[in-house]
Amino acid sequence: MLGVLGFVALATAAAATLTVRVARQVVTPPKNREEDIRVLDVTATTVTLTATQDTLLPGRYGLWFDYGTGHARVGAIVDSGAEGVTRELLSVDFGRLLPGARARIGAWFYLEPGDLGYPFEHVVVETDLGPAPAWLIPAGDDGALERAGRWVIQVHGRAVRRSETLRAVPVFREAGYTSLLVSYRNDEDAPSSDDNRYALGDAEWHDVDAAIRFALGRGATSIVLMGWSMGGAIVLQTVTRSVHAGVVSGMVLDSPVIDWASVLGFQGARMRLPDIASKAVLAVIGNAWGKRLTGQAESIDLARLDFVARADELSRPILLMHSDDDGYVPSLSSRALAEARPDIVTFDAFSVARHTKLWNYDSARWTVDIASWLAVLPGSWDDDVTLRRRASRAPAV
């Protein structure tokens, strides 16, 4: 009997330790990213990689290698088989790409705004934690007068940086929007919070709110917020908590986190955690008593981050883009939000594009879908002001 009790005690202790470890991983910015691919061969025009779901996905991608010290860009699949996947090698941006290197496929394709060939400006957004760097890319010269003052603020996802959002600049620029690509707390570019922990959107929205203030100060009159992955959760917090929400005319959400409980449950199942352990992780990060276990300064209000439950509180048009094979953030919550609010949500479902790789997989479709949505997007509260400005410029008859 004592042996059984001892085993139970050990199992309970092991489960508790695992729960705390996973909870800490959820809220702690990672220092390293897993490189789960092996480079098998390299030529002047091709690279051969081990076969994974990502390396077998058509499209254009970044290829990080040697623990993030090297970066290349890969294109179409040339051949695949038992020996691996051979893809076009479009460029090696830095580092030495050699057979035997460890690597990972990244959704980033562009690294700096200069890669796009547009004029841009390095700017600083003043947040309550200090200055956060951003890129400002003005609208094209041929933007229509009625689009003057329209901005898009791009919000990247968890454990990446603003380079992730560069892919969206061309379609918004073509539509006459100035693009502001922002950083936020604990993302390596912006200042860290005192606890250096993610709040999963529950605090990061303050930095996007600061970006809205910056945009208003530079002449923005109507703003679209675009969020990628966790950036989607941040955007949703911004439009429901910011005093500047009135200037937001709509949201574009790419592979967004709509409900963290479903995401963490999905990830727990992938890790083969018992359901009770996944629920325990939520309890640890969502309650005040868990702060000392995870290092959080404040617990996270997970109910406030659930926009399936809060769907009725949303009022702005949303273009919601998600792939059913996401593999990291399940599309079920996106579908549930679309079903709950068909009046404001345009749901753009992909079937094979993985997580935040919709542009990479099918950039033509992705671009057309955003451009079409922008073309019919109503203006914000300032439409009457814009109309008066345009009328004042009209020639007398």
Instruction: Specify whether 186 is located in the same domain as 63.
Output: no
Instruction: Specify whether 227 is located in the same domain as 275.
Output: yes
DSSP for 277-346 reads HHHHHHHHHHSGGGHHHHT-SS---TGGG-TTTTGGG--S-EEEEEETT-SSS-THHHHHHHHH-TTTEE
- Which pLDDT value is given to residue 140? 80
Query: What is the mean predicted confidence (pLDDT) over 37-45?
Result: 98
d(CA 209, CA 228): 17
- Which pLDDT value is given to residue 262? 95
Q: Which of 59-68, 140-149, 245-254, 313-322 bottoms out in mean pLDDT, i.e. has the lowest?
A: 140-149
Residue after which a domain boundary falls, among 64, 81, 106:
106
Instruction: Specify whether 121 is located in the same domain as 68.
Output: no
**pLDDT band, residue 1 (cuts 50/70/90):** low
Q: Apex CA 305: angle with CA 238 and CA 273, to 5°?
A: 145
Answer yes or no: is 353 within a domain: yes
Q: Give the pTM.
A: 0.92
Answer yes or no: is 279 within a domain: yes
Answer yes or no: is 125 within a domain: yes
Instruction: Specify whether 339 is located in the same domain as 359.
Output: yes
11 has a pLDDT exceeding 70? no
369 has a pLDDT exceeding 80? yes
Answer yes or no: is 13 within a domain: no
Instruction: Specify whether 47 is located in the same domain as 175.
Output: no
Instruction: Specify whether 140 is located in the same domain as 66.
Output: no
The per-residue pLDDT of the chain, averaged, comes to 91
Answer yes or no: is 161 within a domain: yes
394 has a pLDDT exceeding 80? no
104 pairs with which residues across the strands? 64
Instruction: Specify whether 224 is located in the same domain as 141.
Output: yes
Instruction: Specify whether 55 is located in the same domain as 174.
Output: no
49 has a pLDDT exceeding 70? yes
206 has a pLDDT exceeding 70? yes
Answer yes or no: is 393 within a domain: no
Residue after which a domain boundary falls, among 89, 106, 123:
106
Instruction: Specify whether 193 is located in the same domain as 227.
Output: yes
- Total number of domains in the chain: 2
Supply the CATH number for residue 259's domain.
3.40.50.1820
Q: Work out the angle between the directed axes of helices 275-286 and 260-270 (0-180°, nearest 10).
A: 140
Answer yes or no: is 210 within a domain: yes
- Which pLDDT value is given to residue 14? 57
**pLDDT band, residue 31 (cuts 50/70/90):** confident
Residue 64, domain extent: 37-106
Instruction: Specify whether 254 is located in the same domain as 323.
Output: yes
Instruction: Specify whether 151 is located in the same domain as 214.
Output: yes
The proportion of the chain whose per-residue pLDDT surpasses 90, expressed as a percent, equals 84
Instruction: Specify whether 97 is located in the same domain as 245.
Output: no
- Which pLDDT value is given to residue 146? 44
- Which pLDDT value is given to residue 141? 67
2 has a pLDDT exceeding 70? no
Q: How does pLDDT run across 155-177, given as a tens digit for each residue? A: 999 999 999 999 999 999 999 99
Q: Tell me how far the alpha carbon of residue 200 is from its chain's centroid.
A: 11
Query: What is the mean predicted confidence (pLDDT) over 69-88?
Result: 95
321 pairs with which residues across the strands? 254, 348
Residue after which a domain boundary falls, among 106, 135, 151:
106
Answer yes or no: is 322 within a domain: yes
